[in-house]
C-alpha cells in the first residue's frame, strides 16, 4: 500500500531540500576559495630554515664495484625491510640513500639498472 502525501507536505520537504542545497553550495564555494588561496600561496613558497633537506650520498666508482660491495649484505639475509627478506625492497631503500654516479659522470644509475646488475652478479640467478 502506497503512502499518500499532501501537496503542502511535499512543498515543505522540497523547501527544506532547497535550503540544504543552498547551504551546501555556499560551503562548497568557501572551500573552493580557500583551496585557490592556498594554491596561490604554495606556488610562491620558500623553504624555511628549519625544513630538513635530505642529503645525497654519491658513489663514484663503477656499478660493478658498487654491486660487489653490496653482495655480501644482500646474500647475508641479515637486512630486512618491514620484517621481510626482500632483495628488491632492500635495493630500493639503498637506491634512495646512495646514488651511483654513471661512469660518464652525467646523472645517476636508475633503479631498474641497479636491480639488473645485482641479479646478474648473484650466483643463484
Beta-strand pair 98-100/57-59: parallel
pLDDT recorded at residue 47? 57
The fraction of the chain above a pLDDT of 90, given in percent, is: 15
Give the 3-state secondary structure of residue 103. coil
Whether the model clears a pTM of 0.75, i.e. scores above it, the answer is no
Instruction: Please state the three-class secondary structure of 47-63 as a single string.
Output: CCCCCCCCCCEEECCCH
- Burial label for 71, CB within 10 Å (0-12, 13-18, 19+), is middle
Instruction: Please state the three-class secondary structure of 1-39 as a single string.
Output: CCCCCCHHHHHHHHHHHHHHHHHHHHHHHHHHHHHHHHH
Tens of pLDDT, residues 10-49 = 899 889 989 888 888 888 888 888 887 887 777 766 655 5
Tens of pLDDT, residues 59-76 = 998 999 999 998 888 888
pLDDT recorded at residue 114? 92
Amino acid at each position: 500500500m502506497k503512502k499518500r502525501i499532501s501537496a503542502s507536505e511535499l512543498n515543505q520537504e522540497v523547501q527544506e531540500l532547497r535550503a540544504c542545497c543552498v547551504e551546501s553550495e555556499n560551503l562548497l564555494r568557501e572551500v573552493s576559495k580557500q583551496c585557490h588561496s592556498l594554491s596561490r600561496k604554495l606556488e610562491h613558497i620558500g623553504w624555511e630554515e628549519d625544513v630538513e633537506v635530505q642529503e645525497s650520498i654519491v658513489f663514484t666508482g663503477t656499478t660493478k664495484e658498487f654491486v660487489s660491495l653490496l653482495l655480501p649484505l644482500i646474500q647475508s639475509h641479515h637486512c630486512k625491510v618491514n620484517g621481510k627478506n626482500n632483495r628488491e625492497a632492500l635495493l630500493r631503500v639503498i637506491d634512495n640513500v646512495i646514488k651511483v654516479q654513471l661512469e660518464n659522470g652525467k646523472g645517476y644509475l636508475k633503479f631498474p639498472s641497479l636491480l639488473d646488475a645485482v641479479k646478474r652478479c648473484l650466483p643463484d640467478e
